[in-house]
């Protein structure tokens, strides 16, 4: 029964002879399909939401560049997922990687995959690939060249996301071992968190980091992004049941409760430490709670989700306080929020998993010590692979193109240098250039100095 959750896709489309799977595969269910259609749209919304979350946290002169790092993933990762990524992740292949049997969506049609159309499953999974690579951008904002980032997105989705996804959900070795990852604690968050560490170390800190106060330029954006992420996350976790059933209901409720508990604990810590409850802190707490409950959502009881959310606040909160005092410029705390949140969630899934709720697997708390060990192994394996491969990809890219911006671009802001646009401009001092006067300029000087709106 446990396999029903962790290897669902593999069982259904690879013809693994499991009687229940074949029965279910016989028919597409309208309710299940409806819920997955909605869920896919909800998860897709999370990437623009992330753009607002991240965009508000950077300086005004890099707001568009930061938001574009999320938006470009919708295109590049979306296209590559359909062409190659999906097959590499969910093709039968080996325990380590899928194959090219479904490349270019070959054989991915309207036939049933479980109780939903195969094509819809591909799309649902595609939205996960998109947001995972977009999450990494938080570690490299304000200093990575946009062309290099675009190339990175493509390579990372194929060489890091697809294999890790295969290990856990595509019939690979972690899934076979029985690692529990309901909606992507390891596949999405630990994966992105490890990549963020590697990318931040590869690029080095921003020039102004540790010398100037680098403040969020638009905190309401941060709150807007966090709110929309929570909304989308109901599809992320609820949809991961791949059906409109009780497990989806459980995951949905746990997605409501865990971040609520994180929010309460986080604000208490904030208040104890500084006497004030910060808005950026609240937004961060919501994301941490959502990340932590992701691997556990369909495996633990609602009360366990509350406990899990409350506990998850602690490592991330203190890691953020510590990180800001180091030279480790993981600019928007991708590791502290997603990496540590994911690790905490994955480990606590091995503690709180309850057969009474998920129908098969108990965790440490209910006497199954081995499950905790399997969870720990999945954390280490995903972290090591993602960190090492991410570093290798960036190293490879640096051999063919500049990956980091030069000092002047960093000073001017990447919005002007890479996009030829500013987030906030009132047009004062901007002269209209008529066609005959227009000359292509690679790095135009700003019309007005970038400033806060």
Alpha carbon distance 130, 141 (integer Å) = 17
Is residue 213 within the footprint of another protein (CB under 8 A)?
A: yes
Tokens encoding 161: 């996301």
Shortest separation between residue 281's beta carbon and another protein, angstroms: 7
Nearer residue to another protein within complex by CB, 127 or 284: 284
Annotate 185-217 with DSSP letters as a single string: IIIIIIHHHHHHHHHHHHH---TTBTTB----S
Distance CA 168, CA 115 (A): 21
List binders of another protein among 266-295 (CB under 8 A).
274, 276, 278, 280-281, 284
CB of residue 286 to another protein, shortest distance in Å: 14
| Longest Cα–Cα distance in the chain | 77
216 touches another protein by CB under 8 A:
yes
Q: How far is the CB of 143 from another protein (least distance, A)?
A: 17
For residues 156 and 136, give the distance between their C-alpha atoms in angstroms, rounded to a whole number.
10
Using CB under 8 A as the binding rule, whether residue 451 contacts another protein is answered as no
Is position 333 an interface residue for another protein (rule: CB under 8 A)? yes
**Over 78-93, what HEC string results?**
HHHHHHHHHHHHHCCC
The size of the interface with another protein (CB under 8 A), counted in residues, is 17
Exposed, middle or buried by CB within 10 Å (0-12, 13-18, 19+), for 95? middle
Nearest residue (CB) to another protein, 317 versus 357: 317
Interaction of residue 448 with another protein, rule CB under 8 A: no
Residue 160 and residue 269 in contact, taking contact as beta carbons nearer than 8 Å: no
Applying CB under 8 A, which part among 35-43, 82-90, 242-250, 314-322 lies near another protein?
A: 314-322
Token pair 């399997």 is found at 374
Q: Which of 69, 164, 320, 379 binds another protein (CB under 8 A)?
A: 320
| Contact footprint for another protein (CB under 8 A) | 213-216, 274, 276, 278, 280-281, 284, 320-325, 333
């Amino acid at each position: 029964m446990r396999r029903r959750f962790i290897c669902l896709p593999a069982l259904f489309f690879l013809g693994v002879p499991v009687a229940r799977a074949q029965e279910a595969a016989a028919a597409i269910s309208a309710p299940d399909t409806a819920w997955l259609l909605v869920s896919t749209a909800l998860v897709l919304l999370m990437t623009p939401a992330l753009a607002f979350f991240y965009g508000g946290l950077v300086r005004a002169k890099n707001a568009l560049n930061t938001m574009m790092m999320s938006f470009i993933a919708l295109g590049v990762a979306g296209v590559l997922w359909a062409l190659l990524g999906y097959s590499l992740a969910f093709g039968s292949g080996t325990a380590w990687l899928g194959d090219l049997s479904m490349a270019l969506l070959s054989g991915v049609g309207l036939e049933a995959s479980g109780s939903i159309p195969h094509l819809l499953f591909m799309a649902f999974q595609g939205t996960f690939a998109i947001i995972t690579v977009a999450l990494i951008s938080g570690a490299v904002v304000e200093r990575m060249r946009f062309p290099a980032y675009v190339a990175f997105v493509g390579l990372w989705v194929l060489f890091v996301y697809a294999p890790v996804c295969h290990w856990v959900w595509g019939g690979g070795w972690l899934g076979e071992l029985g690692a529990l990852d309901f909606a992507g604690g390891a596949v999405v968050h630990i994966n992105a968190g490890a990549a963020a560490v590697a990318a931040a170390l590869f690029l080095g800190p921003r020039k102004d980091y540790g010398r100037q106060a680098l403040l969020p330029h638009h905190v309401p954006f941060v709150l807007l992004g966090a709110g929309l992420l929570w909304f989308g996350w109901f599809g992320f976790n609820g949809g991961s049941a791949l059906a409109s059933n009780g497990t989806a209901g459980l995951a949905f409720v746990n997605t409501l409760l865990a971040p609520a508990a994180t929010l309460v604990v986080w604000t208490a810590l904030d208040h104890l430490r500084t006497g004030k409850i910060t808005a950026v802190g609240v937004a961060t707490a919501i994301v941490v709670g959502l990340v932590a409950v992701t691997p556990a959502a369909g495996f633990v009881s609602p009360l366990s989700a509350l406990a899990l959310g409350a506990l998850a606040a602690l490592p991330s909160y203190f890691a953020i306080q510590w990180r800001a005092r180091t030279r480790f410029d993981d600019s928007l705390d991708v590791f502290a929020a997603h990496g540590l949140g994911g690790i905490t969630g994955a480990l606590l899934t091995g503690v709180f998993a309850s057969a009474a709720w998920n129908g098969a697997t108990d965790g440490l708390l209910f006497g199954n010590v081995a499950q905790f060990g399997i969870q720990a192994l999945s954390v280490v394996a995903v972290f090591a692979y993602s960190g090492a491969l991410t570093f290798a990809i960036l190293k490879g890219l640096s051999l063919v193109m500049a990956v980091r911006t030069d000092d002047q671009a960093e000073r001017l802001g990447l919005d002007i240098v890479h996009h030829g646009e500013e987030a906030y401009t009132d047009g004062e001092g901007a002269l209209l250039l008529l066609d005959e006067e227009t000359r292509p300029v690679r790095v135009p000087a700003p019309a007005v100095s970038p400033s806060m709106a």
